[in-house]
Amino acid sequence: MDYDKLQDMFIGTWASLVPLMYNADPRKCDTTIIEHGYVIEFIENPFVSSDRILRLHRELPTGRTTIYELSYNSKDQYFSTITENSIRLAHWKPDFPRYYALYDKDNSKDSKSPYTFMPYPFSEEQYFQLMTVQNVLTEEQYKILDDEVRVMQQLLSNYDALSVGVVLYHDMLEPHEVVNILVPYLKSSMK
């Protein structure tokens, strides 16, 4: 998955959807308003009822394929994670340095951990040292993610959602298209 597409999807969807997910009732959403060819799955985590997962599927002649998944939870993960097709940003410690864990399967050969851990903010020397031996994002990409964490700290301060994650299984839609499909569905349970 292209990282820029993944980042755009994360930034372009979570702020519109998470507050609605928090207030929507998964059992009362109106499935008749969903655009033709799409199926939505909106569930509470069976282990933690305050956690919710929203998935968008596309019905194709060959079967159903998952396109997009958004979840929030109240797990107290100290670091955010970026994998090949997902971003989960944790924002629960506003006064502490943030840590970003970037999936790096080559790193696991030496350290037994498949992640590169990067604190933010970081010094140029620290960044250069990691950059020369491990897989890292660009400085600008870390800044963009960290700015998004700051937005989350403000926007989600009244919610118990302490991390938000997006998994992008397919890049067939743009962020505004995902929002246009999912917002009416979520709003339908708030009548």
pLDDT in tens, 97-140: 789 999 988 776 666 788 888 999 999 998 998 888 788 899 99
Average pLDDT, the chain: 89
pLDDT at 49: 61
pLDDT < 70 stretches in the chain: 48-50, 74-77, 108-111, 191
Distances (CA, A) of 150 to 22, 70, 119, 156, 157: 19, 19, 15, 10, 11
pLDDT at 53: 92
Distances (CA, A) of 59 to 85, 111, 115, 175, 177: 21, 42, 34, 19, 16
pLDDT at 54: 94
- Cα 118 from Cα 134, distance rounded (Å): 10
pLDDT at 109: 67
- Cα 109 from Cα 24, distance rounded (Å): 44
- Cα 19 from Cα 119, distance rounded (Å): 28
Percent of the chain predicted with pLDDT > 90: 56
Whole-structure pTM value? 0.91
pLDDT at 35: 85
Residue entry with tokens 């282990």:
47
pLDDT at 48: 66
